[in-house]
Amino acid sequence: MGIETALPTDVMLTTQLQRVINWSRRSSIWPLPFATACCGIELMATACSRFDLARFGAEVMRFSPRQSDLLIVAGRVGIKMLPVLQRMYEQMTEPKWVISMGACASTGGVFDTYATVQGCDQFIPVDVYIPGCPPRPEMLIEGVMAIQRIIDEDRIPPKGPDGKRVPLGIAVSPNYTPKPQPVGLTVGS
């Protein structure tokens, strides 16, 4: 199934060790789904067969922060939930990445109330912001790919001028064209 089936058996490939390491790291980003609201449904759809996050090596959802590389904050973060989020972030091992998925996680969205934190990036570092309510799975995949590109370019860990790690602060823009509704069924016929 892999590249070895396309190659003759007696061939040798040369590459750089760093490239191989980067390739394997970027192909095994294991997300921690911090799905607290409706965006979590879209996150599940992203991992399911139609959108298939597995193609990007990020399909293994880990529910233990110690086993994951990527924290996906999908949904509203309540005032009681933020300490939990911070604790999970602290338990993840470096190198770690954070995606803030959807309007609520990034800004509080329409929930401008005492009970909702107005953007989790005020209290934890966020690498990629994905706009939308909810974002389409394509955009979440785009967010994962943005992190993959950073890993490919060897920018781990990204450092600021003072030598400290900085959040990337990438904002993904919409990458799909809305289709007229309804669309015809593509399965079953």
Q: CA nearest 35: which of 20, 23, 46?
A: 46
Q: Which partner from the list ligand SF4, other proteins, none does 82 bind, CB cut-off 5 to 8 Å by kind?
A: other proteins
Compute the least distance from the CB of residue 96 to other proteins, in Å: 9
Q: Which partner from the list other proteins, ligand SF4, none does 128 bind, CB cut-off 5 to 8 Å by kind?
A: none
User: Exactly one of 30, 51, 118, 132 binds other proteins (CB under 8 A); which one?
Assistant: 118
Q: Which partner from the list ligand SF4, other proteins, none does 48 bind, CB cut-off 5 to 8 Å by kind?
A: none
Q: Phi and psi of 42, rounded to 5°? A: -70, -35
Segment lying near other proteins (by CB under 8 A), choices 36-44, 99-107, 121-129, 131-139: 121-129
Segment lying near other proteins (by CB under 8 A), choices 13-21, 42-50, 122-130, 145-153: 122-130
User: Exactly one of 25, 60, 125, 138 binds other proteins (CB under 8 A); which one?
Assistant: 125
Q: Which is nearer to other proteins, 27 or 122 (CB)?
A: 122
Binding residues (CB under 8 A) for other proteins: these are: 79-80, 82-83, 86, 89-90, 112-118, 122-125, 157, 164-167
